[in-house]
Amino acid sequence: RLLRAAELARYRGAPGEPGLYVALLGRVFDVQRGRRHYGPGGAYSGLSGRDATRAFATGDFSPAGLVDDVSGLPPLQTLALRRWLSFYRSNYEPVGKLVGRYYDENGAPTEALRQAEAAIEEGLRLKAESDQRKQQFPPCNSEWSSATGSRFWCSKQSGGVSRDWVGVPRKLYTPGSRGSRCVCVRATGPPSGELDAPEHQDRGDLDDPHLEEYEGCHPRAEWCVLKV
């Protein structure tokens, strides 16, 4: 079934209206069973009767945010659209497609839909890289007090990343980001990406160019205190 924006706008769940629909990336779903959330007065009532795809990604429920255009959003942010689309497909009945930004008069995908899907794919790639980087450089444990200053330390569970090594604290600088963050770095064995190398210096990832030692801390210590 193909719907136009004017027809979709009649499905906001108000008395006398024919139903309660929500559209996401041009796919239309019957959300009547979630009336408590999507019906008049509900927390997500602003999504009803329209395609507010951008709000699903940004959480902006202002009039400016309740629109279908997601061009220009960072790829990682568009991953929320993938999660929401999976949620609606699993929990609500699909009704059809909305003629407009994402589907044409014949119900065929538009260039805008292809671009949105490409952004989601790029977001998946970036997330995979981020997850891999987190496995390589898990966050440190940290605490601060006015009496002793900052303390950083590593464990086999620090950063919520389970592993069979502890590591040593280092500053990690990410290109394009301001400042640094404390991570735990594997200090023995071959570098990541060269685990099968027959010859290495047994320094793990300590020589990664984006790392810096904490001044005043032993380079092989599993914990470090920066006094005030």
Query: Which tens digits make up the pLDDT trace of 13-24?
Result: 999 999 999 999
Please tell me whether residues 65 and 142 are part of one structural domain. Answer: no
Strand partners, 19: none
Please tell me whether residues 73 and 118 are part of one structural domain. Answer: yes
Residue 196, pLDDT score: 66
Average pLDDT over residues 115-120: 98
Q: Does 7 score more than 90 pLDDT? A: yes
Question: Residue holding tokens 């979709």?
Answer: 8
Please tell me whether residues 119 and 221 are part of one structural domain. Answer: no
Count of domains observed in the chain: 2
Best CA proximity match to 221, nearest among 162, 170, 173: 170
Last-in-domain residue among 105, 131, 157: 131
| Helix, strand or coil, per DSSP, at residue 207 | coil
Average pLDDT over residues 149-175: 93
pLDDT band at 186 (very low <50, low <70, confident <90, very high): very high
Q: Give the separation between CA 11 and CA 120, rounded to whole angstroms.
A: 28
Distance of CA 161 to the CA centre of its chain: 18
Please tell me whether residues 8 and 113 are part of one structural domain. Answer: yes
Please tell me whether residues 104 and 198 are part of one structural domain. Answer: no
Residue 228, pLDDT score: 60
Tens-digit pLDDT profile for residues 67-104: 999 999 999 999 999 999 999 999 999 999 999 999 99
- The CATH number linked to 53 is 3.10.120.10
Please tell me whether residues 14 and 101 are part of one structural domain. Answer: yes
pLDDT band at 193 (very low <50, low <70, confident <90, very high): confident
In sign, the C-alpha dihedral spanning 116, 122, 123, 125 is positive
Residue 71, pLDDT score: 95
Last-in-domain residue among 116, 131, 146: 131
Pairing of strands 93-98, 141-145: unpaired
The amino acid occupying position 89 is R
Of all residues in the chain, the percent with pLDDT exceeding 70 is 97
Domain around 26: 2-131
Residue 213, pLDDT score: 94
Residue 212, pLDDT score: 95
In sign, the C-alpha dihedral spanning 205, 206, 212, 216 is positive
Residue 200, pLDDT score: 72
Please tell me whether residues 175 and 65 are part of one structural domain. Answer: no
Other beta carbons within 10 Å of 27: 20
Supply 161's token pair: 């990343």
Contacts of 191 (CB under 8 A, 6+ apart): 197, 200, 203, 204, 205, 207, 208
Tens-digit pLDDT profile for residues 46-69: 999 999 999 999 999 999 999 999
Q: Give the separation between CA 98 and CA 115, rounded to whole angstroms.
A: 17
Please tell me whether residues 19 and 86 are part of one structural domain. Answer: yes
Q: Does 197 score more than 80 pLDDT? A: no
Q: HSE, CB side, 13 Å, CA atoms: give it for residue 124.
A: 9
Q: Does 227 score more than 80 pLDDT? A: no
Question: Which stretches does DSSP call E strand in the chain?
Answer: 2-3, 21-24, 27-30, 93-98, 141-145, 149-153, 168-172, 181-185, 211-212, 223-226
Strand partners, 117: none
Q: Does 124 score more than 80 pLDDT? A: yes
Residue 198, pLDDT score: 66
Residue 129: its H or E element: helix 111-136
Q: Give the separation between CA 92 and CA 29, rounded to whole angstroms.
A: 6
Please tell me whether residues 57 and 108 are part of one structural domain. Answer: yes
Ramachandran bin of 13, using left for φ above 0, alpha for ψ from -120 to 50, beta for the remaining angles? left
Q: Does 126 score more than 90 pLDDT? A: yes
